């Protein structure tokens, strides 16, 4: 299965519409696909960021992916607009920072989770369930992307001045990435290629191999908005992009493809990290969509007040692949 098919199978599978409206190969996300039964958290403001780390803080690299099929066993970090940065586990919510702007985590064997904040970088202390200042960065940091190669504690940050730095030496040394201009968002793919959106809403990738910057071709011109997402771990050298209502995959070679999903109702935040469970923010709430339960088991319309028949039909040719994900370790996808 190619990368696009993988992404299409995983992105928003729990949100897929009851019936495509124009094209049998296109799914439309509508308001009805946010049933109350999927809500795991209700806040007062929009949920603007959700991250579920795929390192050892949630599951071991050699464990089957299916071990994270229950949200009660995992850490879910999120930001609620104007309220702060929080962590939830076992349905218990703890506020970590008032001024948190972004969340990132390595996807290696470490337990590192980092937070970008208005006064620098913080790191999650799992034992004490709190955020601790990390390194010497004091910039107003609006985004962070942790590096996951060779077990380093390196990461990229984006400041409020729209400057990108690579931070090394345990957070004590930063180097400006001078060929990344006017960045508004940043995200890394599995090979540590750095994708960014500039102030014209154009998407670029800076290659890890030689630092070359490429424009991503094939995305719509002048979209109303653009959002980069952290990719599921089964997607290699590509990242999901939402441009206006449409979803795409942007590849490190500078190309992109439409992912056959249109967001008529757009979540305020999406987490694809765990692959088999999707988390979405909408209407001040966090929704959980369990891919295994939706596609592989008999959830009825009466259970959800949503008819998922067309969803299962749409993904019928990918069920065996979805099943294989559930019984494979994360490391096996990189073999």
- Confidence check: pLDDT of 21 > 90: no
| pLDDT reported for residue 38 | 87
Task: Give the pair of three-digit tokens for residue 253.
Answer: 């070679």
| pLDDT reported for residue 333 | 45
Top-confidence range, 145-149, 180-184, 288-292? 180-184
At 142-171, the pLDDT tens digits run: 999 998 766 678 999 999 999 999 999 999
| pLDDT reported for residue 1 | 44
Pairwise CA distance, residues 103 & 121, whole Å: 10
At 308-328, the pLDDT tens digits run: 565 556 556 566 666 666 555
**Which comes out higher in pLDDT, residue 264 or 120?**
120
Q: How confident is the model at residue 122 (pLDDT cuts 50, 70, 90)?
A: very high
- The model's pTM is 0.87
- Confidence check: pLDDT of 2 > 90: no
Question: Which phi and psi (to 5°) does residue 9 adopt?
Answer: -70, -30
| pLDDT reported for residue 89 | 94
- Confidence check: pLDDT of 299 > 80: no
Query: 211: which residues sit within 8 A by CB, 6+ positions away?
Result: 179
pLDDT mean over 237-249: 93
Pairwise CA distance, residues 79 & 96, whole Å: 10
- Confidence check: pLDDT of 174 > 80: yes
| pLDDT reported for residue 225 | 95
Closest-CA residue to 318 (of 5, 3, 68):
5
Task: Give the pair of three-digit tokens for residue 332.
Answer: 């096996």
Q: How confident is the model at residue 231 (pLDDT cuts 50, 70, 90)?
A: confident
At 247-270, the pLDDT tens digits run: 999 999 999 999 878 888 899 999
Q: How confident is the model at residue 52 (pLDDT cuts 50, 70, 90)?
A: very high
- Confidence check: pLDDT of 331 > 60: no
- Confidence check: pLDDT of 207 > 90: yes
- Confidence check: pLDDT of 91 > 60: yes
In Å, how far are 39, 140, 158, 248, 274 from 194, measured between CA atoms?
Answer: 33, 20, 12, 17, 21
pLDDT mean over 88-104: 96
Pairwise CA distance, residues 121 & 137, whole Å: 6
Question: Which phi and psi (to 5°) does residue 261 adopt?
Answer: -130, 130
User: What is the rounded radius of gyration, in angstroms, for the C-alpha atoms of the chain?
Assistant: 19
We find that the CATH architecture of domain 3-334 is 6 Propeller (2.120)
Top-confidence range, 55-59, 160-164, 292-296? 160-164
Portion of the chain with pLDDT greater than 90, in percent: 56
Portion of the chain with pLDDT greater than 70, in percent: 74
Q: Residues 278-294, buried b or exposed e (16+ Cβ, 10 A)? A: bbbbbebbbbbbbbbbb
- Cβ atoms of 40 and 275 within 8 Å: the answer is no
């Amino acid at each position: 299965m190619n990368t696009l098919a993988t992404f299409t199978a995983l992105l928003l599978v729990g949100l897929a519409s009851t019936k495509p409206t124009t094209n049998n190969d296109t799914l439309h996300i509508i308001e009805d696909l946010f049933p109350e039964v999927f809500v795991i958290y209700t806040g007062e403001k929009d949920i603007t960021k959700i991250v579920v780390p795929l390192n050892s803080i949630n599951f071991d690299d050699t464990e089957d992916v299916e071990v994270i099929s229950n949200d009660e066993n995992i850490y879910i970090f999120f930001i609620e607009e104007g309220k702060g940065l929080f962590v939830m586990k076992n349905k218990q919510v703890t506020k970590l920072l008032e001024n948190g702007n972004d969340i990132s985590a390595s996807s290696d064997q470490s337990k590192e989770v980092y937070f970008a904040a208005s006064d620098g970088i913080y790191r999650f202390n799992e034992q004490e369930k709190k955020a601790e200042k990390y390194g010497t960065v004091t910039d107003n940091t609006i985004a962070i992307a942790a590096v996951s190669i060779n077990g380093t504690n390196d990461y990229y940050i984006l400041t409020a001045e729209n400057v990108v730095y690579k931070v090394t030496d345990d957070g004590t040394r930063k180097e400006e990435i001078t060929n990344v201009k006017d960045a508004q968002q940043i995200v890394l793919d599995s090979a540590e290629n750095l994708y960014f959106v500039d102030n014209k809403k154009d998407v670029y990738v800076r290659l890890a191999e030689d630092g070359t910057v490429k424009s991503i071709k094939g995305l719509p011109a002048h979209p109303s908005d653009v959002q980069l997402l952290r990719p599921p771990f089964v997607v290699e050298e590509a990242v999901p992009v939402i441009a206006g209502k449409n979803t795409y995959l942007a590849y490190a070679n500078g190309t992109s493809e439409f992912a056959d999903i249109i967001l008529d109702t757009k979540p305020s935040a999406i987490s694809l990290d765990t692959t088999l469970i999707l988390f979405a923010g909408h209407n001040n709430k966090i929704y959980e969509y369990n891919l295994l339960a939706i596609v592989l088991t008999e959830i009825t319309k009466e259970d959800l007040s949503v008819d998922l028949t067309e969803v299962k039909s749409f993904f019928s040719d990918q069920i065996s692949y979805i099943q294989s994900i559930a019984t494979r370790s994360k490391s096996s996808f990189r073999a």
